[in-house]
Amino acid sequence: MSCRFDAVVVGAGVIGLTTALRLRRAGARVAVVSAETSDRTTSFVAAAVWYPTRTRFEPHVLDWATRTYEEFARQAADGVPGVVMRPTRMLLRGDTQDLPWWASAIPDLRALRADEVRDPFTGGWAFTVPTVEMSRYLPWLEESFTAAGGTLVRRRIDALEQAGVWAPAVVNASGLAARALCGDSEVRPARGQLVLVANPGLHTSLRDEDNADGHTYVHPRSTDVVLGGTFELGEWDTVPSPATAAAILRRCTELQPALAGATVLGHQVGLRPWRDSGVRLEADPHPPGRIRRLVHNYGHGGAGVTLAWGCADAATALLHPSGWHGS
């Protein structure tokens, strides 16, 4: 079978779809190949707030995060479905109040005043970051991609070389599936459990990064509030734990008392695509089968939304440095 496309993106989560849209807008004929629809991906259940969760500083990572922040800020201003710039407070415990490494990406970050902090917190940061409601945003990405001439292919592949049937150039944005597709033993799940409650009128996101009992964050959305959470490396169980849900509710209500008595709307579990050495974003020197150019773009852990557009730009540049021309 002759190739029908210039490039194939394997994976239909936020990493795959942003990359595919960038490639299409760069002039490539692009297909996204995935066995799952976007509403069955890990991205769909993500809290989806710009924040480099457990991501260590590297200059290129800061660049990806900054580019993504800027893109989401533009999209929020343009009224893209599900994208909102939301005030956030990150509360700290202890004496260390160093600026976070990602501070330069955020135009309005400032230290909290003494009257904005209560025990047991000793300080913190106030800033505005993008929040993304994935139930609205992922469909927008798909619709934008297909409206621009992109193609969605619902097909399961068991090896990356199978993507060479459709195109000579491939982006591997398969997330957790890269463990099997690439034989990458560094890839493993970071289980995250969330509780969704009715919004009692909250507008500001809160984070308690230093809570010894576990991740604690309160992220309001248009009709609900996302409460979290957990970061359980190596755990594959996608069934919500009642005990974990109760602990999340307790921690989040202590952080934001206005949540007391809020109606629980649902429970969600997602398996973040963690990679021990960080994001793999590079051209493969030995692409398999008939593939002539293979770029890996996976292993974003809990920072997929935070890095998506910056990584999409980088993957596009790696896949075809000279660019595409025509349709």
- pLDDT, position 13: 96
- pLDDT, position 94: 84
- pLDDT, position 102: 97
Question: What domains does the chain contain, in order, with CATH numbers?
Answer: 7-319 (3.30.9.10)
Q: Evaluate whether 285 touches 44 at the Cβ level (below 8 Å).
A: no
Structure tokens at 37: 């629809």
- pLDDT, position 1: 38
Position of tokens 């106030």? 126
Q: Evaluate whether 152 touches 142 at the Cβ level (below 8 Å).
A: yes
- pLDDT, position 308: 98
Using one digit for the tens of pLDDT, what is the confidence trace for 49-98? 999 989 999 999 999 999 999 999 999 999 999 999 999 999 999 887 78
- pLDDT, position 327: 43
Which pTM value belongs to this model?
0.95
Dihedral angle, C-alpha 36, 66, 227, 246, nearest 10 °: 90
Q: Evaluate whether 156 touches 100 at the Cβ level (below 8 Å).
A: no
Q: How far is CA 201 from the centre of its chain?
A: 26
CA-derived radius of gyration, the chain: 20
**Residue ranges for the chain with pLDDT beneath 50:** 1-2, 326-327
Q: Evaluate whether 258 touches 201 at the Cβ level (below 8 Å).
A: yes
- pLDDT, position 322: 67
Rounded to the nearest 10 degrees, the angle between the axes of helix 14-25 and helix 134-147 is 30
CA distance 232 to 153: 32
In three-state secondary structure terms, 4 is coil
Q: How far is CA 15 from the centre of its chain?
A: 7
Distances from the Cα of 74 to the Cα of 250, 318, 325, angstroms: 36, 24, 26
